[in-house]
A and B are shown apart, each in its own frame.
Chain A
Amino acid sequence: MPFVPRLTGQNMALVAVFAGLIALSTTPPEFSLASGVPISLQTLAVVLTGLVLGAWRGFAAVLLYVAVGLAGAPVYSDGASSWGAFVGPTGGYLWSFPIAAFVVGWIAERIRTSANGIVGFSALMGAGLISLPIVYAVGVPWLAFSLDLPVFTAGSPGEPTAIAWGLIPFVVGDFLKVVAAAAVASAIHRSFPHLLSATSVHFAASALADEARDVASAPSEEAAAAANS
C-alpha cells in the first residue's frame, strides 16, 4: 500500500501547485516539433506529477486539476469546454490521467530516487512509460465507443480505426514526453531528496529560496522599476 501522506501545508501546496502546472501545460503550445506540429505538454505534466509526488498526492493533483477545470477555469486543451472534454469522445484520456498518475507514482515510490545519474533516470523513465498503456487503454476504447469506430482492425485496409486516430499519431510524441518527464523528475529528486519519503522537505526550500534570491537580484533594477511603477 503506497504511503498515505499527511495533510500538511507542504503536501497541500505540492498538490495544488502541480495541479496548476498541469493546467499551465495546456496553454498554447510552447514547444513544437521541427515540422511545426505543436505538442501539448499535458501528458508530460501528468507523468511528471506522478513521478515527483508519488501515488496519492499525484492522484490528488490530477483530480484537483480536473475539478478546477470543471469549475470553469479554462485549463483544458485548446480552451475546450471542460464538461465537453470530460464527457465527450476524448474524455477517456482525461479519465485515465488520475489513474496513470497514481500508478506511475506508486512505482516511483519504490525506486531509490536518491541514486544519481543514469540508474535513477532509467528507472523513472520505466515508471513513466507505464502511463502510456494506461492512458491508451482507457482513452482508445472510450473514443471507439463514442464514435462507433472499430478499435483494432477495420473491415478493409485504409479505413480509420480508434487505434489509428487515438493512439498511433501520439505514440512517438508521448514517448518523448515521458523521457522529458523522467529527466525533469530526476533533476527534482536530486535537488529535493525527501519528496517521496514521509519526512518533510525542509531545508531544500531555503536553499532554493537562496537561489531564487540570486536570480531575482540579477535583473532586479529594471524588474523593481517595472514592478513599482
Chain B
Amino acid sequence: MIEFRGASVVAPDSGAPILLPTTLTLTEQRVTIIGANGSGKSTLARLINGLAVPVEGQVLVDGLDTRKHGSRVRRRVGFLFTDPSSQLIMPTAIEDVMLSLRRTVRSKDERIKAAFQALDDIGLGDKANVSVNSLSGGQRQLLALAGVLSATPSIVVADEPTTLLDLRWKAHVGALLYALPIQLIEVTHDLEAAIKAQRTLVVDEGAVVFDGNPVDAVAHYRDLMYRKSVGERA
C-alpha cells in the first residue's frame, strides 16, 4: 500500500514547485499515471521508491517512511526506467540479474541458478551468457525487468517502460507488466495501455488533476491537452 501524505517536491536551487502537496492512497493492483512531459508524473513515481524524497509531507510504503527507511522501501519496490540501456550494469545478462539477487540470495551457486530461472521465466534463457551490448532495446528492457522481478518486490513502479520500444516490444513488455500478480504503478504515454487499470491519475503542472476511472481519466487528459494547445495558438 502506498500513501502520500501532503508530499511535495521543489527544485533544489530555485525552490520552484515540481509537485504540489499531494495526498492519496494507492491500494489498487493496477494504477496508471498519465500527463504531459514535465508535468511531475515521473517525480510522483520516484517518490514511491525513495529515489526522490518530499521536501514536505511524507510518503509511506507499507507503513515505511521513504525518507527514514529508504533501503527497506527499495527492497519492496522494484523500479523499471524508460531507458533500457542505463539500467544494465554488468557485461552479461546473467551477471546483471545476479547483481539484483545479491541482497536476497547469499550463496553464489544458488544465485546462478536463480538468475537462470529468472531469465528463463522472462524468455531470455538462451541469452544468459550473451554480452549486454548485443541485445536489442526490447531485450534489454526485458532483462531489466527480469532483474527487478528476481528481487521479489511487492510493488513495481514503471516509468514509461515502453516509450523507447518499437511496437512489437511495446506490446510484449506491456503484456508482461499487465500479467504481474503484484501491485503495478505505471507511468505511461500509451493511452491504450493506460486504460487497462483500476485507477488512473492525471498529472498536470505538478498537481494530480484527476483521480479515478481510467476511461474518464484519459478523456479528461485528452481534453486538457487539446485546450492547452488551442490556448497556445490563440
Residues of chain A having any CB pair with chain B under 8 Å: 193-194, 199-200, 202-203, 206-207, 209-210, 212-213, 216-217, 220, 224, 227-228
Within 8 A of A (CB), among B65-106: 82-83
Q: Does B169 touch A at the CB level, under 8 Å?
A: yes
- The number of chain B residues touching the other chain, given as a range, is 20 to 34
Q: A203-B11, A212-B83 are in contact. Are A227 and B136 (CB under 8 A)?
A: yes
Q: A212-B83, A227-B136 are in contact. Are A194 and B13 (CB under 8 A)?
A: yes
Among A193, A212, A227, the one with the most B-chain Cβ atoms within 10 Å of its Cβ is A227
| Bound Cα distance A217, B163 (Å) | 9
Supply 10 A–B pairs (Cβ within 8 Å), ascending by A.
Answer: A193-B13, A194-B12, A199-B12, A202-B12, A202-B52, A203-B11, A206-B42, A213-B82, A228-B136, A228-B169
Contact assessment for B13 and A216 in the assembled complex, using a CB-CB cutoff below 8 Å: no
Contact assessment for B137 and A209 in the assembled complex, using a CB-CB cutoff below 8 Å: no
Contact assessment for B11 and A213 in the assembled complex, using a CB-CB cutoff below 8 Å: no
Q: Provide the main secondary structure of the chain B interface.
A: loop
**Contacts A203-B18, A210-B38 supplied; 11 other A-B pairs, CB < 8 Å:** A193-B13, A194-B12, A199-B12, A200-B12, A206-B43, A207-B38, A210-B37, A213-B164, A224-B166, A228-B137, A228-B168
Q: A194-B12, A194-B13, A227-B136 are in contact. Are A213 and B18 (CB under 8 A)?
A: no
| Bound Cα distance A179, B168 (Å) | 46
**B46 and chain A: residue at smallest CB distance:** A202
| Bound Cα distance A159, B189 (Å) | 70
| Bound Cα distance A34, B26 (Å) | 63
**A223 and chain B: residue at smallest CB distance:** B137
| Bound Cα distance A206, B37 (Å) | 9
Q: Provide the main secondary structure of the chain A interface.
A: helix
| Bound Cα distance A77, B82 (Å) | 35
CB distance from A209 to the nearest CB of B (A): 6
| Bound Cα distance A203, B11 (Å) | 8
CB distance from A225 to the nearest CB of B (A): 8
Q: Does B21 touch A at the CB level, under 8 Å?
A: no
Q: Does B138 touch A at the CB level, under 8 Å?
A: yes
**B16 and chain A: residue at smallest CB distance:** A203
| Bound Cα distance A210, B18 (Å) | 16
| Bound Cα distance A220, B168 (Å) | 13
Contacts of B136 in A (CB 8 A): 227-228
Contacts of A228 in B (CB 8 A): 136-138, 166, 168-169
Contacts of A209 in B (CB 8 A): 82-83
CB distance from A212 to the nearest CB of B (A): 7
Contacts of A207 in B (CB 8 A): 38
| Bound Cα distance A212, B37 (Å) | 13
Contacts of B12 in A (CB 8 A): 194, 199-200, 202
**A210 and chain B: residue at smallest CB distance:** B37
Contacts of B43 in A (CB 8 A): 203, 206
CB distance from B118 to the nearest CB of A (A): 22
